[in-house]
Amino acid sequence: MLYQRSSALFKEAQNVIPGGVNSPVRAFKAVGGTPIFAKSAKGAYVYDEDGNRFIDYINSWGPMILGHAHQPVVDAVIEKTKEGTSFGMPTALETEIAELAVSMVPNIDKIRFVNSGTEACMSAIRLARGYTQKDKIIKFSGCYHGHSDSFLIAAGSGAVTFGTPNSPGVTQGTAKDTLLARYNDIENVREIVEANPNEIAAIIVEPVAGNMGCIPPVEGFLEGLRTLCSAHDILLIFDEVMTGFRLAKGGVQQLKGVDADIVCFGKVVGGGLPVGAFASRNEIMNHLAPNGPVYQAGTLSGNPLAMAAGLAMLKSINSDKGLMNRLDEKTKYLRNGIADALNKNNVVHTINSIGSMISVHFSEEPVVDFESAAKGNNDTFKTFFHGMLSRGIYIAPSAFESWFITDALTYQDLNETIAAVEEIAKEL
C-alpha cells in the first residue's frame, strides 16, 4: 500500500501540532513508521487520504459498536445541527438520554454528562472525595483513566508506598494521595487499604482493563473489591468508559453482577461525538452542585449534537435484542481463527477476550496485569502490526491497547483478518 498523502500530511502537521498528532498513540511511536491519516469511514471500514481501505479494529477506540457512520446517529446529528449547535442552556434532550441510560444501567439513579472520559473519571474522584471527606484514592497499574493529574502516577518502591508522578507537570503533592495497586491482585489491595486506615475515599478500576491490552478480571477480583470497599467505607468506582453499553447493555455491573458506587462512561454513550458521563445513587449524586457542595461544570456539557448522537446510539443498542450475542460470537470466531493461525506456525502468544474486546499478546505466560502484559515481545508486535496494516487490517498501533469488534464486521471481514494473520505468522 502507498501512504504518500498520509506521509505528507504528517510532515505538515508536525510544524503546527506537537508531534503532529492530538493524542500521542496516533503518532505510531510504539510501532514505528508514519501514521495513517483517515479521510472517511463507513461500517467496518476506514479509508485513508491515499484511498486505501482498512478493516477497522480500533473503531475510534471503542464507540463505533454498530459501525462507522451508523445511519440513525448520522441522521440525528444532521437534524439537530439545523436547530443550533450549542446553547449553554438545558434541553429536553438531556433528560431523554439520561432517563434511557438510567433505565439500562443497574444501580444508578442519576447521571451527569460531561465532554470526555477523562472529565468523567476526574469528576467521579472529586465527588468521591467530597462525599467521603477523605483524600486518598487507589488506582491500578496499567489502568488508564484519562490524563487528569491524579491518574498519571507510576509505581512506588513497594506495595504500600505512595505513588510518584509519571509525567512532568504532575506535582508530588498530587501524587501522594494516589496509591498504586496490582490489577487482579485482591490481597495487594487489602494490604494497601489496611496500611491507610480511614484515609481512602475511592478505589477506581477498569472492571475489564483495556489499556494494557484486554485483560478481564480474574474470578473473585471485582467481588473482593466490593467487599473491601463496603467494609471500609470506600466508594468503588467502575471506569466503564470502554466497557459501558458495550460488554452488556448495563455494562460490567450487569455482566458480572457486581455493584459499583459510581460508574464512569464515555465512548459508546456519545455515538462517536465527545461525550462522557458519571452516574451513581441519589445520595451520592445529590452532593453535586447545584444541589450539594461538590462543584463540577462545563459549558459544552450536554451539548445538543453530542446528546442527539448518544441518544440515537443507545436507542439502537437497547432495541436490538441480539446485538450482544452477535458481538460475542464474532469475537469468539476471530479469537479461534487467530489462535489456530498462530499455533499452526508455532508463534508464542496469548489471546485475551471478553464480549467484543480482544487483544493478542506475544507472550508465553497468561496476561493478567500490567507486569505480565509488559513481558510481551514488542518487536514481534511491531512486525505483526505492520504486516496487518500492509494487508488492509487496522489494529491499535500499540501492544497495550484492546481491539474493538463492531457489529458491522462481516464473517468475510473476519476470515480476511484471519488469513492475514496466517500469512504474517509465517514471517514471525
Residue 209 amino acid letter: A
Q: What 3-state class would DSSP assign to 276?
A: strand
Phi, psi for 236 (deg, rounded to 5): -95, 120
Alpha helices in 67-159 (DSSP H): 71-81, 92-104, 117-132
| Cβ neighbours of 99 (radius 10 Å) | 11
Phi, psi for 245 (deg, rounded to 5): 65, 5
In terms of Cβ atoms closer than 10 Å to its own Cβ (0-12, 13-18, 19+), residue 281 is middle
Interatomic CA distance for residues 217 and 398, integer angstroms: 21
| Residues 385-422: b if buried by 16+ CB within 10 A, e if exposed | bbbbbebebbbbbbbbbbbbbbbbbeeebbeebbebbb
From 3, 144, 183, 394, the catalytic residue: 144
Interatomic CA distance for residues 245 and 243, integer angstroms: 6
Annotated active-site residue 183? The verdict is no
Interatomic CA distance for residues 109 and 302, integer angstroms: 18
Nearest CA to 201 among 193, 209, 190? 193
Annotated active-site residue 340? The verdict is no
Annotated active-site residue 256? The verdict is no
Q: Report which DSSP code applies to 60.
A: G
From 48, 177, 239, 413, the catalytic residue: 239
DSSP 287-326: TBTTTSSB----TTTT-HHHHHHHHHHHHHHHH-TTHHHH
Interatomic CA distance for residues 310 and 303, integer angstroms: 11
CA-to-CA dists, residue 156 to 125, 178, 181, angstroms = 21, 10, 10
From 80, 136, 267, 330, the catalytic residue: 267
C-alpha cell at 419: 488469513
For the beta sheet containing 350-354, the strands, ordered from the edge strand earlier in sequence to the opposite edge, are: 350-354, 357-361, 403-404
Residue numbers annotated as active site: 144, 239, 267
